[in-house]
Every structure is written in C-alpha cells, then in structure tokens.
Structure 1
Amino acid sequence: GYFVEILSLDSPDALYIKDCPVKVHAAGPGTGSYGYSRKFIVWLLKHHQEYDVFVVNGIWQYHSFAARNVLNKVNRNYYIFTHGMLDPWFKHQYRLKHLKKLLYWRWGEYPVLRDAKRVFFTSEDEKILSRQTFSLYHCRETVVNYGTSGHQGNASDQRQLFLEHFPHLKNKPYLLYLSRIHPKKGVDLLIEAFAKSVNADSDLQLVIAGPDQTDWKVELDKIAEKYGISHKITWPGMLKGDIKWGAYLNAEAFVLPSHQENFGIVVAEALSCSLPVLISNKVNIWQEIIRDNAGLASDDNLAGTIDLLRRWQQLDASRQNQIRENARNCFLQRFEITRASANLLNIFEKDLAAIKN
C-alpha cells in the first residue's frame, strides 16, 4: 500500500491543518508572501529517509527552492507540478511582476525545474505554453492525468436544496459559471455575450457563483445594467458541498470563458455531473473536451464567447443530450481521480524500479 503526508509552510495552529484528512507536518508559518521558514529545511533534512517519493506542488515560493536544495544535497529525486504557473499569459498581463520573476528565475526557480526528476504538466497545452515564458528553460517534461473525485451525494436532494435557496430559478434553464470572480476568468465577456446572444423573451438565466476577491462585482453589475439583463443574473456567492452540486445538476450547461486556466477542476466537476462545458480555448484541457464531444470551445474574446453561447442555443435537444452523455464519459475516462492516481503511481513505480536496478 501507499501513504501520503504533506510538508507545508502553514502554521501548525491553523484550523484547516487540524481538519485535513491527510497528515500534515506544518513547518511554518512562513515569513511574508514568499514563505521563508528555516523549520522547513530542518524537518526535511531530518525525515527525508522515511519517504520514497517527493512531489513539490507549485513554484515561486520558498517550499520549491528549499525542497530542491535539500533533496539535491542528500541525492534524492523529486517531482514537481507547476500548476499553470509558467503560462505566458501572466508574462503579458503583469509585466512588472514578470520582471521581478525574471530576476529570480536564473538562480532561484529555474534550477528547481531543471534538477527535478520530472516536471508534471496536466495537458499538452500547458507543457507547450510553459516553454514560452523564459528563454532559459530546460526540464524533463511529462504530461500526466489530473483529476478529481467528481460528483458525490444524493443528486435529487442536491437539486432540491439548490432550488430551495434560489426558488426563482425553479423551472427555468440557466447557464452556470462557478469560479472566482476575477478578470482572468472573463466574467465581463460572459455577461456582455449573454446579453448579445440570448433573446430578450428567453427564459434562459445566468448564474455567476464564486467569491469576489477583487470587488469586481460592482463593475460587473454596471455591465449587466447597461444591457438590461440584471434581472436574468443570479449571484449566489461561493457555493460548497451539496448546494454546489445542486447548482451543477440543475444547470443546462457550464460556462468558463477564461483567459488562462491550467486545468480547471470546476470543468471536471461539471463533466462529472453530465454537464456540457462551454469554455474558451485558453482552458488547457479544451482539446480533450472537443475530442470527446463533451462541450464547445472558442476564443477568449467577446466574439468568441458570443459564438460559444449561440452555438449551444442552436443545437437541438437530441444533440444537447448526446453532449451531456459524452460529458460524463469524458470525466470517467480522463479526469476521474482514481485514473489520475494510477497514472502517477505507475510513473513513480517505474522510476523507483530503475533506481534499484
């Protein structure tokens, strides 16, 4: 069998550490946004012999730099997930921040990737895009399955729970956006595209669910008011648990016109609920979605988002139902967590066997 433990830069007093179902060794709190903590290195030097495999999650913070330094010193291999953090979108969108990263790259983060046994990417698109951010770039690239457990619970009860909280949506079709309310996600495009592609007399509604971390909703409300569709938009805030699943299960389709999305757990969750996904071609799993006929994809601009919504509405009922069936199959074949886990374990076992031989 296998066991998994986490070494993190969190404070050991954090409540979420106590609630985590996996054993966590909290070596923080780290200092500042970078998260420096000497305790992290001390712990890893002391305990590394207790583990067979080391997986670093994410870059640009102290944990990846420290893990590379310690594990190289003791001659241990490690793997790393970049989780989309090398996407060139950030380079073009946040130029000053990229300049800061450029100064750190050569001596800080680049050696972390260069020395890793493998750098894991969750799609071919992510792998290819990651090569475009820095001119100095070399690593052992491996595309792996990535996923989630998907829908859990009683679907009928979850549908009812959602409609109890939002009774005005009962018997009304709606498109669901469920993610952070953030400019990167293209919510402004979605609202304007909805206004320009949905007939005024249509019953179709738009549900925009998620936390507003940048106070952007005020501006988005003005866009909705400008086009006279405020009455067609529901803002439930952040949804969790059964009510979240109810939002998926009652929806007609899921929409995410994001400008940058490495994987999109919410896309996989939607698929697990047999929900067609209407996404931009900046969501890095869009090609898999199209290949499995589990949804539609288009450019991450206004014209592309309008096209996305219009094409969905123009499909007849039988075609939409076929896509719903394909959506669930796409999830089971590509993004269900046990398949993703088996894929990773197979890689680890082969690499460990090669070392022993």
Structure 2
Amino acid sequence: MRVLHVIPSISPLRGGPSRAVIEMVAALRLQEVDAAILTTNDHGPGLHPDLVTGRWREHQGVPVLAFRRWSPPVAALREFAVSPGLSLWLSRHLKDYDLLHIHALFSYPSTSAMAQARWAGVPYILRSIGQLSPWSLSQSSGRKRLMLRLIERRNLQGAAALHFTTGAERDEATALELAPPTLVLPLGVRGPEPAAGAAGGRDSAAPVRFLFLSRLHPKKRLENLLDALALLLQRRPDAPWELAIAGDGEPRYVAGLQERSRRLGLETRCRWLGFVEGEAKWQLLQVADWYVLPSAAENFGIAAVEALAAGTPVILSPEVAVAADVERCGAGLVSGSDPEALALALGQALERPSLSMRTSALNLAQMEFSWSTIALQLRDAYRQVLTSSAGR
C-alpha cells in the first residue's frame, strides 16, 4: 500500500501538525505501509535550510520530496505556500499512489492536491488540523468563506474520509454538514529518551516552574497567562514561581508580549527562551512542574501531550481538545482561560503536582497516545478506505 502524505510545511516553526506528520509516517513505515511526504520548503517567514528541493531525500528518517515555496512580497501569498512545482509533480505521479493523506486546508499544496485527486479518482483522507473549528473559520473569515465556496467545500465533500484527532474536533465540524465518513484517531508522541532529562530533575526547593511551550500566536492566549500571573503576584507576592516561555512567532507580536510582561512587573519571573526543539525541549518539559496552555482553540494539543509523556501535569483551557482526557485521568488541571479563572488555577498549582498526578500524566500518554498503536489503527483505516473506494 503506497500512501502519500501532503502537507504545506514540515518546518518545526509551524508547530505540532507539521512535526506530527513526520512521526506519523515513520510509525506507518514500521507497519509496512509505504508512506512518504510531499511538501514545500516553507520555514515560517523564510525557506527551510535543510530541505533539498526537487528530489527525494531522507529527512528525519522518512522519505520527503519538497518543492520550493514561491515567496512573493505579499505576506498572505507566502502563507498560502504557493508551489507550482509541487502541483506539476503531483499531476504526473498522483496515480502512482493508492491513497493520499492530506494535512491542512486553505493552503495551496493541500487544496490543489485534493482537487487533482478528485479529478483523477484517487481516494484521499483529509486531516483538517482544527481548521474547521468555529474559532479557526472566524480568522480571515472572508478569504476562507470564498475558498469554501470556490473549491474547499467540494474538496471536503470529495474526501474518502475526514480525519479528526478528537471527538471534540469532529463535533465542531458538524455545522458544515459534511457527507464523508469520519475517522477519530489521535496523534501520538514518541516521548523523551531515557537520558534526556538526566542532568535536570525537579528541585522541591526551587520556585514552582511553569512552562509555556508553543508557537507565540494570539490563538495561544499567552496574554491571558501573563495577566493571570500578574494577578497571582498581586495576591501572593512572596510565592516562589517562574515562567519559562519557549517558542517563537512574528517579531512584532513577540515584542508586544515581552513589553506586556514588563508592564505587568513580571520581567524577573519570565524567561524568554525562543524556539526550542530536540533534547533541549524534552529537558524543559521534564524539569517543569506544570505545562500551561490557555489556548482559544486546539484540535489536539500535541505539546500538551508531549508534556504528559515527560511526566509533567498540564494546566489547559477547555478549548484544548485533550483537556477532557486530562480531567478524566487526573493528569492535570482544566481552567477557563480568562485571567481571573486562570489565576485561581495557578494559585492552586503553587502546591506542586502530586506523585499520583505525575504518574497519571505519564500513563495517559503511554496508554492513549502511543504511535505504534495509532499507526496500526491508521493502517487499518487506510485498508477500509481502499476497500470502500474499490466498491464504488
């Protein structure tokens, strides 16, 4: 079974969905699925320095074919990840594959791949990465409504299946009244190497360590977290805590966040670490007492699951889809994302999580978000899609 995964970017700067597809393909290949990735050399505002374009190369252990992202002076077109070379290659090689797994909407590589697959009669599964949620559809709503009317609704309706990572994400899309069957299957995490945090460890005498690790984007509501911590500082000025902020974003926006933290009197409590990945990321997760994400919308929340895999409890807003699992298993706290509610949760978190909560966090990650188990289920879903498509 040959399956081509199409995604606009595999840059780590694009967050969890781009990172997850590499691990998904690696896990599928271990289950004897001939899976590969077709993408662009997008790397946030620039172009990916490690991706050779125009020919197949192994990248992080999986086969990747990247084409150049057109970089016009108009920012909106750069975000659309226009890549004529990708579309031309796909038109010539689409029928070499049994199935396409498309990741993302409203982006040239994904949109054009679905349209070509419809015309060629090649089945495809779409993972919408949360872009069908009301919050996401409300962002740049005019452009998205136009794209839905012109092409994306037909792409959605033509899918052999729609892949959602949580039931909550699936439920959010029901208002669109889409016809294809749905597949609810989470993403996975590999977890840290056993030695990754050996040099660190949690020091009970140290300040309580809060960690925000994500893209710095308005959707993540870091502003609310800063405001909540300012309230906590007013109410408990002697309480020892610190916030590590790991991530990057649009420079003007990041500068505004840093200015906000200074204005709130948090500059001595906040550490701005920039983008962090690899072993350094796992060390941050392992030494943190709490991972905090008060996001406005997360169809999954892969960084939160990585925290769980590091044995670190999480503080999540209800809009983070895995929050329901966390609450059910006692693997952290779920709090409203408004500053007042969040300040109350952070005050509770000053007591540090219990050993049983840490154990619950680790067990949740290992039992429900293992790539080996998810890859088996995904392989079976592919087979079912191909059987159904052959019977049409």
TM-score, normalization by structure 2:
0.79
Pair 1:189 & 2:224 matched: yes
Pair 1:290 & 2:362 matched: no
Residue in 1 aligned with 2:356? 322
When structure 1 is superposed on structure 2, of 45-54 and 298-307 the one drifting more is 45-54
When structure 1 is superposed on structure 2, of 291-300 and 34-43 the one drifting more is 34-43
**Structure 2 counterparts to residues 263-278 of structure 1, below 5 A:** 263-278=300-315
Residue in 2 aligned with 1:127? 170
Aligned partner of residue 303 in structure 2, secondary structure: helix
Q: Deviations over 1:79-135 (max 9, x none)?
A: 01100112211344x3xx201211221221111110000010111111112234xx5
The amino acid across from 1:24 in the alignment is V
CA RMSD of aligned residues (A): 2.7
In 2, Cα distance between the equivalents of 1:326 and 1:74?
A: 47
User: Does the CA contact (< 8 Å) of 2:311 and 2:358 recur in 1?
Assistant: yes
The amino acid across from 1:219 in the alignment is G
**Structure 2 counterparts to residues 334-353 of structure 1, below 5 A:** 334-353=368-387
The runs of 4+ residues in structure 1 deviating greater than 6 Å are none
In 2, Cα distance between the equivalents of 1:41 and 1:208?
A: 38
**Structure 2 counterparts to residues 90-101 of structure 1, below 5 A:** 90-92=136-138, 94=139, 97-101=140-144
Distance 1:104 1:220, change over 3 A: closer
In 2, Cα distance between the equivalents of 1:229 and 1:44?
A: 51
Q: Which runs of 5+ in 2 are unaligned?
A: 1-31, 53-57, 72-76
Distance 1:91 1:81, change over 3 A: closer
In 2, Cα distance between the equivalents of 1:321 and 1:243?
A: 24
User: Does the CA contact (< 8 Å) of 1:55 and 1:80 recur in 2?
Assistant: yes
Name the count of aligned residue pairs.
Answer: 342
Pair 1:108 & 2:151 matched: yes
Aligned partner of residue 295 in structure 2, secondary structure: coil
Per the TM alignment, residue 356 of structure 1 is displaced from its structure 2 partner at its CA by 5.6
Q: Deviations over 1:302-322 (max 9, x none)?
A: 1221232133335xx6x6221
Distance 1:77 1:356, change over 3 A: closer
In 1, Cα distance between the equivalents of 2:68 and 2:237?
A: 54
Pair 1:71 & 2:120 matched: no
Aligned partner of residue 245 in structure 2, secondary structure: strand
Name which of 140, 144, 166 aligns with 2:181. 140
In 2, Cα distance between the equivalents of 1:158 and 1:112?
A: 49
Per the TM alignment, residue 151 of structure 1 is displaced from its structure 2 partner at its CA by 1.5
Residue in 1 aligned with 2:268? 231
Per the TM alignment, residue 250 of structure 1 is displaced from its structure 2 partner at its CA by 1.0
Residue in 1 aligned with 2:22? none
Q: Deviations over 1:136-195 (max 9, x none)?
A: 6443322112122122251344527x99xxxxx983331111112222211121122123
In 2, Cα distance between the equivalents of 1:142 and 1:180?
A: 27
In 2, Cα distance between the equivalents of 1:129 and 1:35?
A: 26
The amino acid across from 1:333 in the alignment is M
In 2, Cα distance between the equivalents of 1:230 and 1:40?
A: 45
Distance 1:188 1:178, change over 3 A: same
In 2, Cα distance between the equivalents of 1:249 and 1:6?
A: 31
**Structure 2 counterparts to residues 1-357 of structure 1, below 5 A:** 1-10=32-41, 15-18=49-52, 20=59, 21-30=61-70, 32-33=77-78, 34-92=80-138, 94=139, 97-132=140-175, 137-159=178-200, 171-197=206-232, 199-313=236-350, 320-355=354-389
In 1, Cα distance between the equivalents of 2:35 and 2:51?
A: 15
The amino acid across from 1:152 in the alignment is E
Per the TM alignment, residue 222 of structure 1 is displaced from its structure 2 partner at its CA by 4.1
The amino acid across from 1:228 in the alignment is G
User: Does the CA contact (< 8 Å) of 2:95 and 2:122 recur in 1?
Assistant: no
Distance 1:61 1:356, change over 3 A: closer
When structure 1 is superposed on structure 2, of 37-46 and 179-188 the one drifting more is 37-46
The amino acid across from 2:193 in the alignment is Q
Aligned partner of residue 200 in structure 2, secondary structure: helix
Aligned partner of residue 126 in structure 1, secondary structure: helix
Per the TM alignment, residue 257 of structure 1 is displaced from its structure 2 partner at its CA by 0.8
Distance 1:141 1:158, change over 3 A: farther
Distance 1:126 1:85, change over 3 A: same
Per the TM alignment, residue 347 of structure 1 is displaced from its structure 2 partner at its CA by 0.7
In 1, Cα distance between the equivalents of 2:101 and 2:86?
A: 15
Aligned partner of residue 366 in structure 2, secondary structure: helix
In 2, Cα distance between the equivalents of 1:276 and 1:338?
A: 23
Seq. identity, %: 25
In 2, Cα distance between the equivalents of 1:235 and 1:36?
A: 33
Per the TM alignment, residue 256 of structure 1 is displaced from its structure 2 partner at its CA by 0.7
User: Does the CA contact (< 8 Å) of 1:9 and 1:28 recur in 2?
Assistant: yes
The amino acid across from 2:275 in the alignment is M
Per the TM alignment, residue 342 of structure 1 is displaced from its structure 2 partner at its CA by 1.7
Q: Which has the higher helix share?
A: 1
